[in-house]
Amino acid sequence: MVAAVIVLGLVPVARAFPPSPKASAASDVGGLWETGTFSILGYDPDTGEVGGAVQSRVFSVGNGVLWAEANVGVVATQAIVDVGYGPKALELLRRNLAPAAIVRQVWDDDPDPLPENWTKQGRQFAVMNAKGEYAAFTGPKATEWAGHKSGKF
């Protein structure tokens, strides 16, 4: 079995490296809260199932990160999140758009209403359809410890 997997990660400096006497992790990341969030989307070709999971230090984050619909697909939104990305992406999945096209369209349609404090440039976003096709994006202003990895394993 070869399964498709996408992992999004946002790791704070305090968790990535041993403690040091220098400034706190919050000041190291420009005043952002010390957080760490990981999301995973997966596809099982033997069963045709897709799913996702999220782990975070942020309490009750699950209701704003994962969006899924049977026979349609699954979406993850995190970092400087816009929870509207989830429903928009699911609607585009229902229309059979490719995940890469969905990521591009949702990103392009984001008006970035608060660019000084809550910029879309810091968003992370991943889409997987019911066939296991996927795409992911990590914005250029997400913390330097943010990123994504995708592939078939």
What would the pLDDT profile of 35-54 be if each residue is shown by its tens digit? 688 899 999 999 999 999 99
107-to-101, 110, 151 alpha-carbon distances in Å: 10, 5, 22
- What is the spatial distance between Cα 65 and Cα 53, in angstroms, rounded to a whole number? 9
pLDDT reported for residue 36: 81
Mean pLDDT of 132-145: 91
- What is the spatial distance between Cα 126 and Cα 100, in angstroms, rounded to a whole number? 9
Q: In the predicted model, what is the mean pLDDT of the chain?
A: 83
pLDDT band (50, 70, 90) for residue 10:
low
What is the greatest pairwise CA distance in the chain?
53
pTM here is 0.80
pLDDT band (50, 70, 90) for residue 19:
very low
79-to-8, 69, 116, 142 alpha-carbon distances in Å: 9, 22, 15, 7
Q: What CATH number should be reported for the domain holding residue 107?
A: 3.60.20.10
DSSP string of 105-150, one letter each residue: HHHHH---S-TTTS-GGGEEEEEEETTS-EEEEE-TTS-TTEEEEE
The distance of Cα 59 from the centroid of its chain, to the nearest Å, equals 17
Its domain, for residue 20, covers 4-152
Tell which residue, 66, 88, 84, 62, has the closest CA to residue 76.
Answer: 66
- What is the spatial distance between Cα 47 and Cα 4, in angstroms, rounded to a whole number? 13
6, β-bridge pairs: 41, 150
Looking at the chain, how many residues does it have? 153
Q: At 69, which helix (H) or strand (E)?
A: strand 66-69
- Total domains, the chain: 1
